[in-house]
Structure 1
Amino acid sequence: MNRMSRDSEGPPPLPAQVGPYLRELVRRTRGVCGADLVSVLAVGSLALGDYRPGRSDVDVTVVVEPSVSGAVLRELAGALAHPRLPCPAPGLELVVYDRGFAGRASGLAGYLLDLNTGPLLPSRASFDPARSPAFWYVIDRSVAHRAGVVLFGRPAREVIAPPAASDLLAAVRASVREHTEGEGHLADNRVLNGCRSVVFCRTGRWTAKRVAAREIAACEPGFRPLVEGALAGFERPRAEAVGLPAAEVRAFLTWVRERVDEAAGAVEH
């Protein structure tokens, strides 16, 4: 079965700029993994309808049978590495899980392979989840469960379990702390991720960054100029990103942390 559809409401069309790339990625993944391949899912901005050419990475989750060997995973990393498979986006972020782990709720990173590659993304192929902060993967699996676009195989909700609420809020907390520090993150993306975190805590749903930012700008007038500046910056390619006032960004993310802490405290009690 090879279908590019979404298993949740309102599927966004996959951008034309990445369609051929994703088809070739699936072809190579099937060729390497064979019968052990369970699903290939587009996640992140592709799943949420917020992909921006020149700005967004291509995010993909792969689910395989537990019998997949380390040699196969290393072969897959090589087959998908840029420029061997030229990436049309700033980068590819691809994570492979075994079906047993992916199918149960967890607050761990838990991957078999975490591959970062692309023209603007530092190359990395990790096979040891203990070396990576877990929160990125917990959030990504939550988005994948709710909105993953099926590129091949079984639907996202059949193969990716949603994290427990406490684990997910802990992950959102850690994400906000990471963006507050700011190292290695564009200012506009830090602000938009903060908006999405607050909207998630208020509604329990993951939204596109731009949708979340418009919601925050509408209901928090004190932060509106900063959020609108982040939205304008997000329209620019990554290589042409512009800065935002550092003190305002930090103040906003401090406010975001307080909102996330309130939501986490409500769950804990």
Structure 2
Amino acid sequence: MNRHPAPPPEVRAYLDELVERTRAVCGPHLVSVLAVGSLALGDYRHGRSDVDVTVVVDRSLPSGALPELARALAHPALPCPAAGLELVVYPADFAARPSGGAGYLMDLNTGPSLPERVSHDPAESPAFWYVLDRSVAHQSGLPLYGGPVRRVIAAPERPDVLAALGASVREHADGEGHAADNRVLNGCRSVVYCRTGRWHAKRAAARAVAASEAAFRPLVEQALRSFERPRESALPLPTDQVRDFLDWVAARVDEAVVALDGHTA
């Protein structure tokens, strides 16, 4: 039996209210609500982490319910105690099968530290974010409402996950809109996934990379120290060192793709 971490006390009441509002709007069409990201991996950092939530609904949900749900959950109508809420709604038939696509019905970003965004068109967003989130969800999703997570969210195929990791590393290498420490820690998590085939919390992955890669240890340790601070007071990291590290991460992802191709040839 999988043991799931309890939601941290700082966000427990918020998640309870989020589930209640989602049930009120979606009614019998609601299949599941689960926490993903740092909440699922047991590494939520209050003042730094977002609350990441996946909602799965029957495709017969009336179209007007999605804008209503966005209004019900938007900050400050529902005050978000975290840096932000990133919530994705999937149709159940899509979520239940492996896919390398985005596939969502609604993507909502809201909260005190996030730009407000609502999208109903998956073509508007790079697919890799959603592939990685569903991969984490299948492995470690924290159920808040509904049936067993692994019956609701299918694991994307490893080639799709590796392609998504490559796209994620390129996105973080560009740097725009991402704190330097988060770029480094996401890179560490990507490397550890390539090595193990499992998702680890950012800080645990960073400690593993620091232990095995002496050349990058000072940078990774700097990133870990910065990650302990609120998002608004993150420490600057050397730009050239971050770029070199992410180039190294990209090479590890490429190696994992080559190894997979060789195994399946």
The TM-score with structure 2 as length reference comes to 0.98
Counterpart Cα distance in 1 of 2:183 and 2:44: 16
Q: Which residue of 1 aligns with 2:104?
A: 111
Number of aligned residues = 262
Q: Percent identity?
A: 68
Give the root-mean-square deviation of aligned CA atoms: 0.7
Moved over 6 A (4+): none
Letter in structure 1 aligned against 2:244: A
* Mapping of residues 56-95 of structure 1, within 5 Å: 56-95=49-88
Q: Which residue of 1 aligns with 2:14?
A: 21
Q: Does 1:262 align with 2:255?
A: yes
Deviations 1:104-127 (A, max 9, x none): 000000000000000110000100
The TM-score with structure 1 as length reference comes to 0.96
Letter in structure 2 aligned against 1:138: V
Letter in structure 1 aligned against 2:90: Y
Deviations 1:121-152 (A, max 9, x none): 00001000001000000000000001001000
* Mapping of residues 155-166 of structure 1, within 5 Å: 155-166=148-159
Structure 1: runs of 5 or more not aligned: 1-7
Counterpart Cα distance in 2 of 1:64 and 1:98: 5
Q: Which residue of 2 aligns with 1:243?
A: 236
- Pick from 31, 35, 41 the counterpart of residue 28 of structure 2: 35
Counterpart Cα distance in 2 of 1:160 and 1:266: 26
Counterpart Cα distance in 2 of 1:128 and 1:19: 30
1:266 CA displacement = 1.3
Q: Which residue of 2 aligns with 1:128?
A: 121
- Pick from 183, 197, 215 the counterpart of residue 222 of structure 1: 215
Q: Which residue of 1 aligns with 2:202?
A: 209
- Pick from 126, 133, 139 the counterpart of residue 140 of structure 1: 133
1:198 CA displacement = 0.2
Deviations 1:146-195 (A, max 9, x none): 10010000121010000011111000000000001111000000000000
Aligned with 1:105: secondary structure?
coil
Structure having greater relative contact order (Cα 8 Å, sep ≥ 6): 1
Q: Which residue of 2 aligns with 1:187?
A: 180
Structure 2: runs of 5 or more not aligned: none
Deviations 1:93-112 (A, max 9, x none): 00000000000000000000
